[in-house]
Structure 1
Amino acid sequence: VSGCITRFKDKGGLVAKDITNAASDVDIIITMLPAGNDVRDVYLGTSGILESTNSKPLLIDCSTIDVETARNVSNEAEKVDLLMLDAPVSGGVMGAEAATLTFMVGGPEKAFKMAKPILDLMGKNIVHAGGTGNGQVAKVCNNMILGISMIGVSEAFVLAEKLGLDHQKLFDISSTSSGQCWSITSYCPVPGPVPNSPANKDFKAGFTVDMMLKDLRLSQEAAISCGSNTPMGAEAASLFGLFEATGSGSLDFSAIIKLIRGLTA
């Protein structure tokens, strides 16, 4: 945390001493927190944002959390006449640094129109997903696809190498054929084909195994809550859970190929 604060100050940011100080006399508050409990505490807790703000700021929460918490916190904000959006992001560290993130935004149309000029400064694709909580719905669905696809791509590359097909050849074919997906073209889990992918950097994390597992578990909680059948999502969550248990949680999620090969961190 201290390192993040230092970088923020180096970029010209002003550091507040506490939530009360940060929430005073501002037009917009943007948060990005690890889990639903953190969002609930920061917004609804003693000396939290709703209690501390002395103006009417637009609230934008960019955390990836469970849908129920997102909707509950937004409902509490509405009770004190505050507009709130859930706006989780996709694109990882590279997208953040390049300001090319995708924002999946749930909440009132009025709030979205107010927020979009700000989000445009940080992202390339700003999508209004609908009502409150729908940003979180979009995020968990997207990341369930991502986790499943990375496992599938990893299986294919391991199978190819065991059968004697060069990684680059498989990439050249699959990246322009029906198997094409982001996990191949932008984040290939083997070194070489995509020079800036974590596979070329000993899987130094852009998006960690821990983070992927969190999102997959959120997707499964959501699936249970609405009675949706997600067998591939459940299997992906299981595999990433096994990989995390080997001590690999801090690696980039594309390192799941290690588990497919039968290796650990």
Structure 2
Amino acid sequence: MARVGFIGLGNMGGGMAANLAKAGHDVRAFDLSAEALDRAEKNGCKRAGSAAEAVTGAEAVVTMLPAGKHVRDVYETSVIGTAPTTAILMDCSTIDVGTAREEIAKAQAQGYAMVDAPVSGGIAAAEGGTLTFMVGGTEEAFGRARDYLDLMGKAVIHAGAPGAGQAAKICNNMLLGASMIATCETFVLAQKLGLDPQTFFDISSQASGQCWSMTSYCPVPGVGPTTPADRGYEGGFAAALMLKDLRLAMEAAQSVDSYTPMGAHAEELYTRFAEKLGGAGKDFSGIIKMIDDSWTAPDDPEKA
């Protein structure tokens, strides 16, 4: 098995690193959080004292970081020039397309193979090894990265050239954000028109209005599969992260002069929910509370 340097052990990275260790890899993990490092050790990883120490002698490097500036800093100060040029570099962060392309180009110029490989699926999928990876990079780099990504996900898809993984991720999440808002609006309207939420779910989930936001991640407590709505909108995918992805999508749209009115409105609404109404730490489906503060549903923990 290979030595893997893993940098970034937050809600997503921690589970991903644990799955690599579970598969038998020698995972050298680093994070600025001592608590995150403690969890990684308990899950079979070895603690590294710095990002540079984590990648020294590595055959593969995985990073899962908050934003483009962090990716740039880690790769330019700790990875490129420290990790062996034979290592395959995989950045699984969700960042802007431009930074992803720039960092891959810099890595390639120094003799490395690198991919951008953002994920979809959330914390439970990270822990369960059932993430979806959208991968940008050369065919050769994708082939090498897949050996490791397969251990952390159920689907590993080559999206195209460097940066294509990030492009796929932000387009997917723009669609997700807009569809969740539409789903929330629809359930509020259905209830005000006298429809029972479960009855409406039973109808629409088998009709032309069905979408993932309804059938797999319903924002109504007690309706459909168990979701963060059943836990007071705690856990899951934070509204602040959805807002981050929507802003990345809007930046990308502006850079290529693409008309995205629904995406722009979704960004506006999540800005209000996350930054003005204190919903940043709530699951993104909690925006249903902003759409109608008087809305209620059976067994709603915030209305009981």
Q: Normalising by structure 1, what TM-score?
A: 0.96
Alignment partner of 2:202 out of 166, 169, 172 = 172
Query: Is 1:52 equivalent to 2:82 in the alignment?
Result: yes
- Identify the match of residue 101 of structure 2 among 67, 71, 74: 71
Once residues 66 and 13 of structure 1 are traced to their aligned partners in structure 2, the CA distance between those partners, rounded to angstroms, is: 29
Task: Give TM-score scaled by structure 2 length.
Answer: 0.84
SS at match of 1:221: helix
Matches within 5 A, 1:233-252: 233-244=263-274, 245-252=276-283
Equivalent position of 1:261 in the other structure: 292
Structure 2 equivalent of residue 2 of structure 1: 34
Distance 1:71 1:134 in 2: 9
**Residue number among 107, 124, 143 corresponding to 2:137 in the alignment:** 107
Letter in 2 for 1:157: F
* Structure 1 equivalent of residue 110 of structure 2: 80
Structure 1 residues 16-44: Cα deviation after superposition (integer angstroms, max 9, x where no partner): 10122111111000001000000000001
- Match in the other structure for 1:41: 73
* Runs of 4+ deviating beyond 3 Å: 262-265
Alignment match, 2:250? 220
Give 1:262 shift: 3.5
Using a 3 Å threshold, how does the CA distance of structure 1 residues 89 and 5 change in structure 2: closer, same or farther?
same
Bigger mean CA deviation after superposition, 67-76 or 55-64: 55-64
SS for the counterpart of 1:52 is coil
Structure 2 runs not aligned, ≥5 long:
1-32, 296-301
Q: What secondary structure sits across from 2:135 in the alignment?
A: strand
User: Is residue 20 of structure 1 aligned with residue 55 of structure 2?
Assistant: no
Query: Hey, which of these two has a bigger chunk of helix by percent?
Result: 1
> Mind listing any 5+ residue stretches in structure 1 that lack a counterpart?
none
RMSD: 1.4
- Displacement of 1:195 after TM fit? 4.0
Amino acid at match of 2:254: I
Q: What is the total number of aligned residue pairs between the two structures?
A: 263
Residue identity over aligned pairs, in percent, reads: 51
1:209 aligns with: 239
Q: Which residue of 1 aligns with 2:213?
A: 183
Distance in 1, matches of 2:232 and 2:127, equals: 20
> Residue 4 of structure 2 aligns with which residue?
none
Amino acid at match of 1:228: S
User: Would the alpha carbon gap of residues 263 and 25 (structure 1) be closer, same or farther in structure 2, given more than 3 Å must change?
Assistant: farther
In structure 2, give the amino acid aligned to 1:21: E
| 1:88-141 Cα shifts (integer Å, max 9, x gaps) | 000001211221111000001001111112111111111000000000000000
| Residue aligning to 1:11 | 43
